[in-house]
A and B are shown apart, each in its own frame.
Chain A
């Protein structure tokens, strides 16, 4: 029996290399998150503008439009994920087996935290406490994830990684800073609502990883994060629309989406990018841990500059960037190097015996 392989590795070295390779693949997958989110946002903005122009500009209607479009996009994401899973042999039979396990429904809880709850509170907070305050609070997701992950999932993180996450957040805040915003009309309520967003995203990371440890994360994601979250969002907004006298606007959103082919195509594109985004997240959570994954996801300021110039070059949309945004992107890169810069640490992702 051979004592070394073709690469000259001992069995222990080959074993460690395999573990690191798996975790590194999770990190590579995690980089699809910010990229897919930025491109999805372009389609999302376009569709939201199209629909909003034909409806009331009341804040409540804006929230209903955003969450309904997100919900329809999530249902499309579920269809695309099902097609992908079926191509890999994880068809309806595997879906049925997964859904019949009680613990898998915890993923629906995760989806509800991240979808309607976090997104809804995020949007609702802005009029109460201002755009800048909301942007700063919502960028705290990775550090909350790291704190929760240490206790809930026993994620193995060290001081350098915590420092890296803090620097990434600082970079995100610098890049997104748009000057001191007005305090809004109910600052405390706004801050409470805004905090629900990072808490929701952090909770999603913990719960979905907890369940994804036991079931296939892509199957769970396809059913619960895509279909589940989409349907919850649509039902919640139907109730909200009915309660606030906006049920006609709610119905009109569907009419606009499903009777205009270009709008429908854009919503389907949102769904496809959502499928890439959610599935990448759930797989990366499982392979490299939610803290590293969400830190990588926070590199959006860097990618937004790259894609901004790319789309400007292609003539898709105009783009310009401020010095502050570039400074923020540089800070994010420094933080990311601290988070992901030492692959040998990936041999053990959790503090377990």
Chain B
């Protein structure tokens, strides 16, 4: 069963051993959603940021790229793992 995009992003993150960025997520699930207009960086960033806001993701490393844009490396929290066992 294909998951809603937001849920799939969360599942992808929960299944990672190390940290991840928005670009990692985009690459990781691209094959499943690439034909859909919903699947774009702005939308994935919005979902990513909402997970940060509610404490599902927490930053592990922060840096700027050469353009001065923030790259956020995150990992999932125990709170997310506890709440989303059905996705793991």
Q: Which of A13-21, A53-61, A188-196, A198-206 contacts B (4 or more CB under 8 A)?
A: A13-21
With a cutoff of 8 Å between Cβ atoms, the chain B residues found around residue A287 in the complex are 50, 53
Report the separation of the CA atoms of residues A23 and B49 in the bound assembly, to the nearest whole angstrom: 10
| B: interface residue count bin | 35 or more
With a cutoff of 8 Å between Cβ atoms, the chain B residues found around residue A89 in the complex are 36-40, 43
A3-B64, A15-B72, A103-B86 as given contacts; A353 in contact with B77, CB under 8 Å: yes
Q: Tell me if A15 and B54 are in contact (CB < 8 A).
A: no
With a cutoff of 8 Å between Cβ atoms, the chain B residues found around residue A100 in the complex are 1
Report the separation of the CA atoms of residues A348 and B57 in the bound assembly, to the nearest whole angstrom: 12
CB distance from A201 to the nearest CB of B (A): 21
Q: Tell me if B5 and A216 are in contact (CB < 8 A).
A: yes
Q: Tell me if A5 and B52 are in contact (CB < 8 A).
A: no
Report the separation of the CA atoms of residues A193 and B55 in the bound assembly, to the nearest whole angstrom: 36
Chain A interface, number of residues (Cβ within 8 angstroms): 37
CB distance from B75 to the nearest CB of A (A): 12
CB distance from B19 to the nearest CB of A (A): 14
Report the separation of the CA atoms of residues A173 and B24 in the bound assembly, to the nearest whole angstrom: 51
CB distance from B18 to the nearest CB of A (A): 19
Q: Tell me if A22 and B50 are in contact (CB < 8 A).
A: yes
Beta-carbon contacts under 8 Å, B3-39 to A: 3-7, 10, 36-39
With a cutoff of 8 Å between Cβ atoms, the chain A residues found around residue B78 in the complex are 352-353
A89-B36, A348-B55, A352-B79 as given contacts; A214 in contact with B70, CB under 8 Å: no
Q: Using a Cβ cutoff of 8 Å, how many contacts connect chains A and B? A: 97
Main secondary structure on chain A at its contact with chain B? loop
Report the separation of the CA atoms of residues A287 and B4 in the bound assembly, to the nearest whole angstrom: 19
Report the separation of the CA atoms of residues A11 and B87 in the bound assembly, to the nearest whole angstrom: 31
Report the separation of the CA atoms of residues A287 and B50 in the bound assembly, to the nearest whole angstrom: 7
**A98 touches B (CB below 8 Å):** yes
Q: Tell me if A214 and B7 are in contact (CB < 8 A).
A: yes
CB distance from A216 to the nearest CB of B (A): 5
**A90 touches B (CB below 8 Å):** yes
With a cutoff of 8 Å between Cβ atoms, the chain B residues found around residue A22 in the complex are 49-50, 52-53
26 cross-chain CB contacts under 8 A: A1-B66, A2-B68, A5-B68, A11-B62, A11-B64, A14-B64, A14-B70, A15-B62, A18-B70, A19-B52, A19-B53, A22-B52, A89-B36, A89-B37, A89-B39, A97-B1, A101-B3, A101-B4, A103-B86, A213-B54, A214-B10, A214-B87, A215-B6, A216-B5, A219-B4, A349-B53
